[in-house]
Amino acid sequence: MKSISVFEIIKVGIGPSSSHTMGPWNAAEMFVNLIRSAHPLTDVKEVYAEFYGSLAKTGIGHGTDIAAMLGLSGENFKKINTALIDEKTEAIKSSGTLLLGGEVKIPFVYGHHLVLNKSKNLDFHPNGMIFKAVFKDGHELKQDYYSIGGGFVATQDETNVASYSTRTLCPCHHGKDVIHYCNKLGLTFSDLIYLNEESWRTREETRQQALDIWSEIQDCIYRGVNKEGFLPGILKVVRRASTLNKKLLNNQHYQNKTEWLHLVESSGDDFVNINKWISCFALAVNEENAGFGRIITAPTNGASGIIPAVLMYAQLFTKFRSEEAVIRFLLVAGEVGTLFKKNATISAAMGGCQAETGVSSAMAAAGLTEIMGGTTEQVLMAAEIAMEHHLGLTCDPIAGLVQIPCIERNSMGAIKAITAANIAIESDPANAKVTLDEVIQTMWETAQSMNDRFKETSEGGLAIAVNIAEC
């Protein structure tokens, strides 16, 4: 089984969806590089992109079409000025041309060169797409890609991962592996992950990458609590984090992020106040996500508010606040995310929202329990508790937008994570009846049994009850 770095699970992303935006964007860039590997881009006459299944059914609301156009144009979602996304995509549509790889102008007619095929699925995965290049000499290059959750992209041919995968010193593919190595080596959970991450980078580089993610989290929350107005799309959802932020601060003024953080920290430590701040943090991130903003994918975009909300709570309202606590939180949270990815799924198109907010809540619960001083067994117990109470959660975005009920679900997921951590830290795992490995297996079985209407298609649940067509 392929080892996965925690920073493949928790990473910089762009809204509104890791599987429907980041995945297609990555695939488009991969296809341009595939062309380059065999031909000069100047040999290309036309490029086509066709999306199937869940990618097609919720593609407009999730920005799949936008991601494909910008990816083919050589833009990178980690670097692009998000304020210019609409301008750049409208330029492609209005001109009927696209600058392939940022180098070569080719004709590109929206609806002809880019198609959302809602009537067909590709067999390998519900998030399937096919890119095709037609060259001036008449021959073609075609490649299928599958967005398998969290921005990860695979092709149907990628079956032998063992030949190119990284092997860690202490491979942890299940919760029982974590317990085995921690007990054998006398390490805490986060110490073990520090050790395994050295297969990709030095310990100091791991520390710095975690702190960079923490900086991005703070910036994202700060942007979210200071932005008013409506989210994109026909629902006209009002941003709420800004209003809640002002109310909780009694309209006190601040000039920058540092001043804002100080005001939040000193706003009061009663339960109701802290509870509202946790919700505010989660809402802020997911409103940024829904608005095509830059966020931290953890493990997906639809669930990107949970880990930031729980980590910000820990840093502002508990005694477990330090750079080292931030790093250890993220290492453990990320590793728990890899267990779900390797043994189940983090794709809502495969498993419903249990695979997104459920997994993220489990990750956050584990990270919080680790910095609270929990044992390895308590950390895994917290993750199990959090996921156990997300089992069967469907993905039913109204109008195909990552807004309702997605944004509020992050607030609920954050609260569940904190509750799970508090239960685990006061419990004896020896008395637990369900292990994390068992709940992951159950989640996967539930995902496979779930009707496709409830897997990010907007064909079931609230998406049908509210009865609003995709934007």
**pLDDT for residue 162:** 38
Instruction: Determine if the peptide bond prior to 126 is cis (ω within 30°).
Output: no
Give CA separation, 184 vs 167, 236, 427, in Å.
Answer: 19, 55, 23
pLDDT over 80 (residue 469): no
Mind spelling out the 3-state secondary structure of 7-28?
HHHCEEEECCCHHHHHHHHHHH
Residue of 69, 54, 53, 48 whose CA lies nearest to 17: 54
Instruction: Check if the beta carbon of residue 419 is closer than 8 Å to that of residue 17.
Output: no
Chain segment 138-185, per-residue pLDDT in tens? 999 999 999 998 999 999 876 433 334 688 999 999 999 999 999 999
Please state whether beta strands 97-100 and 104-107 pair in parallel, antiparallel, or not at all (unpaired): antiparallel
Predicted confidence (pLDDT) per residue in 336-393, tens digit: 999 999 999 999 999 999 999 999 999 999 999 999 999 999 999 999 999 999 999 9
pLDDT at 165: 61
Q: pLDDT, tens digit, for every residue of 199-216?
A: 999 999 999 999 999 999
Average pLDDT over residues 300-317: 98
Question: What's the CA gap between 252 and 244, in Å, rounded?
Answer: 13
Stronger pLDDT, 262 or 2, i.e. the higher one: 262
Average pLDDT, the chain: 95
Contacts by residues 433-438 (CB-CB < 8 Å, ≥ 24 positions apart)? 434/384, 434/388, 435/175, 435/176, 435/380, 435/384, 436/175, 436/336, 436/339, 436/362, 436/380, 436/381, 436/383, 436/384, 436/387, 437/174, 437/175, 437/176, 437/339, 437/343, 438/384
* pLDDT grade for 124, boundaries at 50, 70 and 90: confident
Looking at residue 164, its pLDDT comes to 43
The residues that bridge with 115 in the sheet, in sequence order, are 50
- Helix, strand, coil distribution of the chain in percent, nearest 5: 55, 10, 35
Tell me the C-alpha to C-alpha distance, in Å, between residue 246 and each of 241, 259, 301, 315.
Answer: 9, 14, 26, 20
**Residue 69 pLDDT > 50:** yes
pLDDT at 104 over 60: yes
Mean pLDDT of 13-38: 95
Model confidence pLDDT, tens digit, residues 397-427 = 999 899 999 999 999 999 999 999 999 999 9
Name the amino acid, one letter, at 257. Answer: K
Evaluate if residue 467 carries a pLDDT over 90.
no
Q: Mark out the alpha helices in 203-322 (DSSP H runs).
A: 203-225, 241-248, 257-265, 271-290, 306-317
The residues, ordered by sequence, that sit 6+ positions from 253 with a Cβ below 8 Å of its Cβ are none
Residue among 35, 93, 36 at smallest CA distance from 69? 93
Residues of the chain above pLDDT 90, percent: 92
**112 Cβ partners below 8 Å, 6+ apart?**
none
Who wins on pLDDT, 466 or 318? 318
Question: Hey, what domains does the chain have and what are their CATH numbers?
Answer: 6-162 (3.30.1330.90), 175-465 (no CATH)
The per-residue pLDDT for 1 is: 79
The pLDDT confidence band at residue 2, using thresholds 50, 70 and 90, is: confident
Within 13 Å, how many C-alpha atoms sit on residue 307's CB side? 39
